[in-house]
Amino acid sequence: MSSTSETRLRHSAPSVTEAAIETGHRVVDTVKKVSHTLHWDELPEWSKDNEYILTGYRRLQYSFSGCLHSVFAYLHNESVNIHSHLWAAVLFLGFLVTANDHHIAQYPTAMWLDRAAFAVFLVMAVFCLLCSATFHAVACHSQEIARQYNALDYAGIISLIVGSFYPAVYYGFFCQPTYQVFYLGGITLAGIGAAVIVLAPRYATPAYRPIRTAVFVGLGGFGVIPLSHMVLSHGFTAACEEMGLAWVIYSMGFYLVGALIYANRFPERLAPGKFDLFFASHQIFHVHVVLAALSHYVGVLKAFHHWHGALNGTCVP
């Protein structure tokens, strides 16, 4: 090989290396650009909600198709929130469709009021869970869409809380229609009041999370009044049979614990960045909501079968 060729090779080697390095940098930059998720520091201010969740945020999509794609195509920090309530909604829709054949139709004493009590609770459960799943799915659309669907999410929570009271009060005061009307009217008005507060635009910001949580807890706490009335007038054992009280208490416990975990951002506040994709407080809250709704439905079934099975749909003096 001539000295001229050797010289050319020596000069070309660094150029090839530099070109490879430059290509590598371009690849890395391209990957960063097409990455589906962002870090907390890359988020627009309006979308920052939990400073202890550092990664896994979706890019703004500005389209519902992009939001839908994010639900099934890749993992992000809303994946668990979406799917936990999406599939729970499907489950409760199944309960709604099968309640009549599996339970209500078993007893000739069952009336339209029984069907209404079941329907109100199950429809509100499906509505709440779908609102929640939808909000978390489209929260990456844009600021305005996120705001609108966040309000829908709050409306769903209120609807489920209010709807849960209907079968409990109906069966708890099965033979006392005056109390049924009184307590159901009261919880309905309280639900409207709660909606006025939490749906106000000023309360939709992260700074008002404790107030929103307090309103939801207070609305759920309204149930202590008819429950206490039931226990004092009928006794705890009778209330467990006639109202499914034990399961109602379990349900309220799940709601309360879940709300407190959510409000205090536990456990991610103890280890920021470690619970970005799984086991964050909002995800735990979602699971508690599902467990609470399931517990409540068990209580409804227990009360229904008591009145129409053991008591044959009659009021015993």
Per-residue pLDDT of the chain (317 residues; tens, 9 = 90+): 555 555 554 555 556 566 655 655 554 444 444 578 999 999 999 999 999 999 999 999 999 999 999 999 999 999 999 999 999 999 999 999 999 999 999 999 999 999 999 999 999 999 999 999 999 999 999 999 999 999 999 999 999 999 999 999 999 999 999 999 999 999 999 999 999 888 888 777 777 778 887 888 788 888 899 999 999 999 999 999 999 999 999 998 998 899 889 989 999 999 999 999 999 999 999 999 999 999 999 999 999 999 999 888 888 65
- On whether 288 is known to bind a ligand per the annotation, the reply is no
Domain that holds residue 258: 61-310
Q: Do 185 and 304 belong together in one domain?
A: yes
Mark whether 144 and 15 lie in a shared domain: no
Are 20 and 126 members of one domain?
A: no
Indicate whether 168 belongs to any domain. yes
- Amino acid, res. 272: P
Q: Are residues 211 and 263 in the same domain?
A: yes
Residue 123 and residue 16: Cα distance in Å, rounded?
66
The pair of three-digit structure tokens given for residue 187, joined into one six-digit string? 């919880």
What residues pair up with 38 in beta bridges, in sequence order?
57
- Distances from the Cα of 4 to the Cαs of 9, 14, 81, 121, in angstroms? 9, 17, 67, 88
Q: Are residues 29 and 69 in the same domain?
A: no
pTM as predicted:
0.86
Q: Check whether the bond before 267 is cis (ω within 30° of 0).
A: yes
181 and 107 part of one domain = yes
CA distances from 95 to 126, 159, 222, 308 (A): 10, 18, 26, 19
Residues 102 and 22 in one domain: no
pLDDT of res. 216: 82
Judge whether 76 is annotated as a binding position: no
For residue 66, the number of C-alpha atoms closer than 13 Å in the C-beta half-sphere is 12
- From CA 86, how far away is CA 151, in angstroms rounded? 18
Q: What is the pLDDT of residue 37?
A: 95
Determine the pLDDT at residue 212: 81
- Predicted local confidence at residue 32, as pLDDT: 45
Q: Which residue is listed with tokens 């609770």?
A: 121
Residue with tokens 């290509």: 23
Please, are residues 190 and 226 in contact by the beta-carbon 8 Å criterion?
no
Tell me whether residue 102 is annotated as binding.
Answer: no
Question: Reduced to 3 states, what is the DSSP secondary structure of residue 281?
Answer: helix
139 contacts: CB under 8 Å, gap ≥ 6 = 47, 78, 146, 149, 150
Angle at 69 between CA 272 and CA 94, to 5 degrees: 90
Task: For residue 114, give the nearest of 123, 103, 124, 129 by alpha carbon.
Answer: 103
Same domain for 92 and 139: yes
Number of domains in the chain: 2
Identify the H or E element spanning 290. helix 281-305
Residue 74's pLDDT is 96
Q: Are 71 and 171 contained in the same domain?
A: yes
